Structure 1
């Protein structure tokens, strides 16, 4: 059975939505944690100087960056699908012969006998 080109294989499917939401939440929380640190450092670090403006810019622009980074899904990353057919070994080029010839092991055939054949059997003829 051949697959149509539009049928996805198991190796090319995207991540489960449950896993993707977890990864997005972690990225968002890390970025927002950096924003809170920038805000605290902007207020606490004395004397004020050029780095105060850097911390302030981080506190202002990191929410936008956090949302953009969190909303970037699996589409932005390159997903390389593996073709499972290529991993399978090729068929042997020469046909394999049976390991043991049929003459070494005789085949026993058992057949049921009907009632007419039982009367003619040699054991019943002696009785």
Structure 2
């Protein structure tokens, strides 16, 4: 008898915790790198103008954004579950013409202790 319960599919599993943590660290490091560049540009670019304020706002706001993005995880990535059932059609069952019934093959496994 075929099991008709919905078995979980490997493709529907979430990302491994180690891989997710590595992804979050990379995202945090990238955002903090951009913040560092904003801070350096705020100090170095002459003459001071509106872009100095833009770099300053970027340097002040990006740490908050980096932490929020790093803690967000991958909950927003929805993975569609794939059916574990085979999607191929089964070949027709061979019918024994003499009896009018399907051919049944039985396999018995016996342990050979004569070795």
The answer to whether the Cα contact below 8 Å between 2:42 and 2:52 also exists between their aligned partners in 1 is: yes
Instruction: Say what the alpha-carbon RMSD is for the aligned residues.
Output: 1.8
Which structure 2 residue ranges, 5 or more long, are not aligned? Answer: 97-115
Moved over 4 A (4+): none
The answer to whether the Cα contact below 8 Å between 2:8 and 2:84 also exists between their aligned partners in 1 is: no
Of Structure 1 and Structure 2, which has the larger fraction of its residues in helix? Answer: 1
Q: Name the CA distance, whole Å, in 2 between partners of 1:60 and 1:24.
A: 21
TM-aligned CA distance change 1:3 to 1:74, over 3 Å: farther
CA offsets per residue over residues 92-120 of structure 1, 9 Å max, x none?
A: 2x32479xxxxxxxxxxxxxxxxxxxxxx
Shift of 1:77: 1.6
Q: Give the structure 2 partner of residue 2 of structure 1.
A: 4
Please give the secondary structure, in 1, of the residue aligned with 2:43. helix
Q: Give the structure 2 partner of residue 95 of structure 1.
A: 93
Relative contact order: is structure 1 or structure 2 higher (C-alpha 8 Å, sep ≥ 6)?
Answer: 2
When normalised by structure 2's length, the TM-score is: 0.74
Number of aligned residues: 94
Please give the secondary structure, in 1, of the residue aligned with 2:10. coil
When normalised by structure 1's length, the TM-score is: 0.67
* 21-30 vs 7-16, which moves further: 7-16
Shift of 1:82: 1.2
Which structure 1 residue ranges, 5 or more long, are not aligned? Answer: 99-127
